[in-house]
A and B are shown apart, each in its own frame.
Chain A
């Protein structure tokens, strides 16, 4: 005997298309104020990004990973997280940090190579950036398992790239999430590149969303340059998790507009014409088109939003650059809760050397 015992399908969601036309049946209910807020946060994130690239070129910042083009993957989801939720990001997540309230000067501080920039203020429940690709989703699953055990309504949300889905730990995270029905949202920003590796060489799967099916839960692909699609997919996934219905995998299909980092030269492996094609799909531009159509956009609003953003960013740079260097001996203080005798001695030596 031979028969088909399982069949699967994968949904794709787009609500706002490139022309700014909106599928009103699918559009999540958002006030004009909320839509404007998302626009402002995206502009702010982009202003931060542009400034960071500039500072890096001037030698005032270290290696930097640009978020350009991925703003709509982060802001519409982050505005929905609750204070009690936990966010577990990778490293290209400036939009998350800004939306969740990390002071921008601390982001600059962090990217200039100062550990203190990643000390989240109280109530900003996002972990420091995680550079080892693909291992951190497990932490989100663990946190979600804890929330479940503690009978909390909190959700853990983890962000990572397409490349991360190749690491073994990613698959362990997905499997645990499915097995324990953990209240977790996997947020994959498929920007189609892992440094130079295009998505086609990363996996033979036609979507990343379908990977979730193998682990027993839903995966959906959304247009990652569409604020409404990302908003809706996140909303549904959060609700599902809070209601004890387990994990969701959201693949945000987008494009990395910049080099991988400032140490990379993307012209070595991809054509400018391809990048150009994605310029017209820009998530900020798209939202603007929509807002114009709905008469909730004016030139003055745009100017003010940009001016405010630039001002905030400039002030943040000033603040960041005025912060004195951390004292040498601080490097010892966070190894354990208390210094071991050996560390005490090493710290004393360093203090004397750097008097």
Chain B
């Protein structure tokens, strides 16, 4: 086994799936010779040629739109969006077509494609390079949305995504692209879409989060000695692993949700609704959420003021504990 970071783990998954299945092709801006701006596809063009690792013109709607066609015609395209801000031109293709082909044709045509997309802030980048747009996609029936937070999960989840019969948006939290190294097996393994992971067991408070904030949250709760926090990494945002959430809530009675996206209609809103519907009487305190604000994420100078920090997370855990009846 080798210790890999997230970028390397994704690269390995692509490499192995491309070897195993000739129908897997990659398409995106600068993904060939350059290996992608984050080097996720490094070396793959050399290995599999420009016909299967396609450097595309600068056009996201073009990339996703042609990927849909390729998928319908029997390939398994894995498209790369360079940054989350630039998935926007492709939303028309994703929301109006990719997600609906199965329904529209009553199953006659399907769209097994993966759209890989770096996401999130905390890397001191230019505008449009620090957003968290997952809600737009989760909200779209017919799209699956996953966001691994570790190298191990990234590899297993990407393989599941490529083999999935439906379109999957595979978000890559770029803040932790190289921040975590982990043992990642060479051998094939799958992380199922739709399964959350309890990354730290606890009995007092359930902390639910995803993406790069899993790391931040785990670091934060280390500073809390008197409250035993259970940390859940959702990994899969749609479909959502409701039962892992509810079981934990029933155990702890107290919930904190940590989300980087703006507050209003962020994914935490939906999680709160589900808990209210299915486990309201288990709650001992109002649910706390630590989120971004309802503003454009500030540029680097003031970015940290926006992002959920360890301090904000600790405060929320303490508050929900204090508020418990």
Contact = CB atoms under 8 A, between A and B. Distances in A.
Interface stretch (A111-119, A230-238, A286-294): A111-119
Nearest to A268: B34
Interface string A42-53: 000000000000
Contacts of A343: 293-295
Contact of A166 (B59, B124, B305): B59
Nearest to A329: B305
Contacts of A283: none
B303 interface: yes
Contact of A202 (B57, B126, B127): B57
A63 B34 contact: no
A132 interface: yes
B189 interface: no
Contacts of A263: 37
Contact of A335 (B62, B89, B126, B294): B294
Q: How large is the interface on B (under 10, 10 to 19, 20 to 34, 35 or more residues)?
A: 35 or more
A197 B62 contact: no
A273 to B, nearest CB: 17
Contacts of B55: 196-197, 201
A269 B34 contact: yes
Contacts of A115: 298-299
B298 A195 contact: no
B38 to A, nearest CB: 10
Contacts of A269: 33-34
Nearest to B306: A331
B264 interface: yes
Contact of B89 (A91, A167, A340, A342): A167
A164 interface: yes
Contacts of A163: 57-58
A88 to B, nearest CB: 16
B302 A168 contact: no
Contact of B296 (A134, A164, A335): A335
A79 interface: no
B295 A133 contact: no
A172 to B, nearest CB: 11
Interface in A57-108: 62-63, 91
A202 B61 CA distance: 15
Contacts of B47: none
Contact of B126 (A62, A114, A346): A62
A325 B295 CA distance: 18
Nearest to A63: B126
B300 interface: yes
B129 to A, nearest CB: 8
A195 B85 contact: no
Interface of A is mostly: loop
B29 interface: yes
B134 interface: no
A343 B299 CA distance: 19
Contacts of A132: 85-86, 88-89, 128
Contacts of A201: 55, 57
Given A131-B126, A196-B30, A269-B33, A114 B89 contact: no
Contact of A194 (B58, B60, B126, B306): B58
A115 B60 CA distance: 27
Given A132-B88, A328-B302, A346 B263 contact: yes
A320 to B, nearest CB: 11
Nearest to B85: A132
A166 B294 contact: no
A63 B305 contact: no
A203 B62 CA distance: 13
A350 interface: yes
Contact of B301 (A169, A325, A342, A350): A325
Given A169-B89, A203-B57, A332 B295 contact: yes
A135 interface: yes
Contact of B57 (A114, A166, A330): A166
Given A135-B89, A350-B293, A63 B33 contact: no
A326 interface: yes
Given A195-B30, A197-B29, A168 B126 contact: no
Given A62-B300, A115-B299, A269-B34, A131 B58 contact: no
B124 A113 contact: yes
Contacts of A164: 58
A99 to B, nearest CB: 22
A265 to B, nearest CB: 9
B306 A62 contact: no
Contacts of A203: 57
A62 B58 contact: no
B128 A131 contact: yes
Contacts of B302: 114, 325-326, 328, 330-331
B293 to A, nearest CB: 5
Contacts of B62: 166, 168
A132 to B, nearest CB: 6
6 contacts: A132-B128, A163-B57, A168-B89, A169-B89, A325-B301, A342-B294
For the complex of A and B, the 9 pairs showing the least CB-CB separation, nearest first, are A113-B300, A196-B34, A166-B57, A163-B58, A113-B299, A166-B58, A166-B59, A196-B30, A113-B301
Interface of A: 62-63, 91, 112-115, 131-135, 163-164, 166-169, 194-197, 201-203, 263-264, 268-269, 325-326, 328, 330-332, 335, 340, 342-343, 346, 350, 354
Given A167-B60, A195-B29, A346-B263, 12 more contacts: A132-B89, A166-B62, A196-B33, A268-B33, A269-B33, A269-B34, A326-B302, A331-B295, A331-B306, A332-B293, A340-B294, A350-B293
Interface of B: 29-30, 32-35, 37, 55, 57-62, 85-86, 88-89, 124-129, 263-264, 293-296, 298-303, 305-306
